[in-house]
Amino acid sequence: MTGTAFTPRVFSGIQPSGGLTLGNYLGALKRFVDMQDADTHECVFCVVDLHAITVWQNPEDLTRQTREIAAAFLAAGIDPAKAILFNQSQAPEHAQLGWLFSCIARMGWMRRMTQWKDKAGKNSEEASLGLFAYPALMAADILVHHATHVPVGDDQKQHLELTRDVAAKFNHDYGVDFFPITEPVIGGPAARVMSLRDGTKKMSKSDPSDMSRINLSDDADAIAQKFRKARTDPEPLPDSYEGLKDRPEARNLVDILAALQDRTPEDVMSEVAGQGWGQFKPHLAEVAVETMGPITAEMNRLLADPAEIDRILADGAERASAIAAPILARTFDIMGMVRRA
Ligand code: AMP
Ligand code: TRP
């Protein structure tokens, strides 16, 4: 189809629905910073508060968590001079395009989403309508900025496919070449950081067991203890990465070390082959503390001045709207809405 050249632009978002985990850091934040620093794309990053309220959020907690996620972006290295950082509800174009897209997307598309099935569970009649429509809003987040690339963890792959379907259907139905078909950017050893208690489940801020995850707010002792108690099999580390194929818990710890050190897992294995857990785990904990410690400290420093965080978010929202408003206006025109002169 496409003849249109789109400005290379990255968009990604994180929900302020709790504290961040090592999975969020390695699978998302750290990669956002790498993309910002590569200087090949405009970067737009969003604290997606409108997504968080698809499940109940206590208002005070939502306010605090929004500032915490913003502080985490900044502490990890997002620079408001280079990238846009804002919270979703301050740029109304997101919710507006979200509505238009809920008229493009089909019920059947939404029903197939595994995140919907997992989160709604057996009680789907009691789930909010927003939780069901969530992927239409996510498509709007991305497409209201005409984003060409979206870095996310593996769990978001299906939502990005739906985003491409929404763009293609809109373009087809209205006979235009207006929305880009966005490329997901997923990969590397940290695309799916697994729980420390169960190598078949992803590390998640909503897991009932705090021992299953490393939180960005954990101190050095907690990090060391959680890695020490992380579930593994009794075998020592094999000679090659290939040897970890059927050992999900062991592979996860090697992947985490690789991602923390910006190395390939194969390279890590060449150093740790044959080690027992009594040697490997304290080393992993030490590397994690070295990487995360300064980020946690910087986050806490920033959180001592919430007014400054709010100022950065407000400035970001203004810049985000400057991109989004003309794209939304053009969408209304394409759909035939009569507009104020
Ligand atoms: P969320 O916390 O669900 O808003 O997720 C924010 C970002 O972190 C998304 O890009 C997720 O794909 C990513 N993410 C969350 N958990 C993990 C994990 N365990 N491994 C890798 N990436 C993750
Ligand atoms: N759905 C994402 C998550 O739960 C968060 C999100 C919302 C997002 N809008 C987005 C991610 C747009 C990337 C792009 O992690």
Q: Is the CB of 331 under 6 A from ligand 2?
A: no
Q: 19 alpha carbon to ligand 1 midpoint, in Å?
A: 12
Angle between helices 248-261 and 265-272 (to 10 degrees): 110
Q: Is the CB of 152 under 6 A from ligand 2?
A: yes
Q: Which residue has the tokens 């002792």?
A: 221
Nearest-atom index, ligand 1, CA of 18 = 2
Q: Is residue 205 annotated as part of the catalytic site, yes or no?
A: yes
Domains and CATH numbers, the chain: 9-185+305-335 (3.40.50.620), 210-300 (1.10.240.10)
Helix (H, G, I), strand (E, B) or coil at 43: strand
Instruction: Tell me what pLDDT residue 316 has.
Output: 98
Helix (H, G, I), strand (E, B) or coil at 190: coil
Nearest to 46 by CA among 173, 168, 138, 156: 138
Q: Is the CB of 162 under 6 A from ligand 2?
A: no
Is the predicted pLDDT of residue 170 greater than 70, yes or no?
A: yes
Nearest to 75 by CA among 12, 21, 137, 33: 33
Residue with CA at minimum distance from ligand 2 atom 3: 14
CB 55 within 8 A of CB 15: no
Q: Is the CB of 156 under 6 A from ligand 1?
A: yes
Band of pLDDT at residue 292, cut at 50, 70 and 90 = very high
Instruction: Tell me what pLDDT residue 341 has.
Output: 84
Q: Is residue 245 annotated as part of the catalytic site, yes or no?
A: no
| DSSP run (H or E) holding 149 | strand 149-151
Residue with CA at minimum distance from ligand 1 atom 10: 152
Is the predicted pLDDT of residue 233 greater than 70, yes or no?
A: yes
Question: Measured between alpha carbons, how far is 303 from 71 in angstroms, rounded to an integer?
Answer: 7
Q: 152 alpha carbon to ligand 1 midpoint, in Å?
A: 7
Mean local confidence (pLDDT), 138-159: 97
Helix intervals (H) in the chain: 22-24, 30-38, 49-52, 59-76, 93-102, 107-111, 114-120, 129-143, 157-173, 220-228, 248-261, 265-272, 277-303, 306-335
Instruction: Tell me what pLDDT residue 2 has.
Output: 55
Q: 82 alpha carbon to ligand 2 midpoint, in Å?
A: 21
CB 301 within 8 A of CB 276: no
Residue with CA at minimum distance from ligand 2 atom 14: 12
Residue 188 or residue 42, greater confidence: 42
Is the predicted pLDDT of residue 3 greater than 80, yes or no?
A: no
Residue with CA at minimum distance from ligand 1 atom 17: 23
Residues 6+ away with beta carbon under 8 Å from 114? 158
Question: Measured between alpha carbons, how far is 334 from 225 in angstroms, rounded to an integer?
Answer: 57
**pLDDT tens digits, 49-93:** 999 999 999 999 999 999 999 999 999 999 999 999 999 999 999
Question: Measured between alpha carbons, how far is 214 from 252 in angstroms, rounded to an integer?
Answer: 13
Percentage of the chain surpassing pLDDT 70?
99
Q: 117 alpha carbon to ligand 2 midpoint, in Å?
A: 17
Residue with CA at minimum distance from ligand 1 atom 6: 14
Question: Measured between alpha carbons, how far is 193 from 254 in angstroms, rounded to an integer?
Answer: 11
Q: How many CA atoms lie within 13 A of 136 on its CB side?
A: 25
Band of pLDDT at residue 275, cut at 50, 70 and 90 = very high
Q: Is the CB of 32 under 6 A from ligand 2?
A: no
Instruction: Tell me what pLDDT residue 206 has.
Output: 87
Q: Is the CB of 142 under 6 A from ligand 2?
A: yes
Nearest-atom index, ligand 1, CA of 20 = 2
Nearest-atom index, ligand 1, CA of 155 = 12
Nearest to 316 by CA among 41, 44, 63, 30: 44
Q: Which residues make beta-bridge pairs with 47?
A: 14, 87
Question: Measured between alpha carbons, how far is 96 from 173 in angstroms, rounded to an integer?
Answer: 19
Burial of residue 305 (CB within 10 Å: 0-12, 13-18, 19+) is exposed
Q: Is the CB of 151 under 6 A from ligand 1?
A: no
pTM: 0.96
Q: 315 alpha carbon to ligand 2 midpoint, in Å?
A: 21
**pLDDT tens digits, 100-119:** 999 999 999 999 999 999 99
From the candidates 30, 202, 226, 281, give the one annotated as an active-site residue: 202
Q: Is the CB of 17 under 6 A from ligand 2?
A: no
Instruction: Tell me what pLDDT residue 330 has.
Output: 98
Q: Which residue has the tokens 């990465």?
A: 241
Q: Is the CB of 182 under 6 A from ligand 1?
A: no
